[in-house]
Amino acid sequence: MRRFRYIWGLFWAVAMNACGTLVYQGYEMSPTHHDTQSVDFELEVGVLHVREVQGETNSIKVEYEVMNRGGDIFLPSAQTHNVFFMVKTQEGREIGHYERIYRKIAPNSSIILEETINLSVYNYASIEASIFVE
């Protein structure tokens, strides 16, 4: 009877330790062991000011505002968020330019950034900006 209790106790201890170890290894808090939630950010972009740069190059400086209308903080993540500029020239050409958003943006706030766009031999007429995600 004593042997039976001893064997049963030994079996019970091994089983409990093994199950606890398996459960612990199955749920580990690290970035590689859990899925990240994809958050759709409500980003908006607006062009504030455009000025032509005087000098050897024919370029423009664009001041633009990136607004986070969502409830979560915007962090640069696996998805690449870009500001895409479509510059229309007086000659009728359209020149595309994009810039990646690297900055953190708090909820319901905005940041103002500046970008220089080289137009080569063309003259600036108008500009539009939008957000796209890669």
Domain ranges, residue 24: 1-34
Q: Is residue 20 scored above 60 in pLDDT?
A: no
- Higher-confidence position of 36 and 113: 113
CATH code, domain with 123: 2.60.40.1620
Summarised one tens digit per residue, pLDDT across range 39-82 is 567 889 999 999 988 777 889 999 999 999 888 888 877 678 89
Summarised one tens digit per residue, pLDDT across range 76-134 is 776 788 999 999 999 999 999 999 998 889 999 999 999 999 988 888 899 999 998 88
| Adjacency order of strands within the sheet including 43-53 | 43-53, 59-68, 109-118
* pTM over the 0.85 mark: no
**CA-CA-CA-CA torsion for 11, 16, 19, 20, nearest 10 degrees?**
-150
How many domains does the chain divide into? 2
Residues 69 and 6 in one domain: no
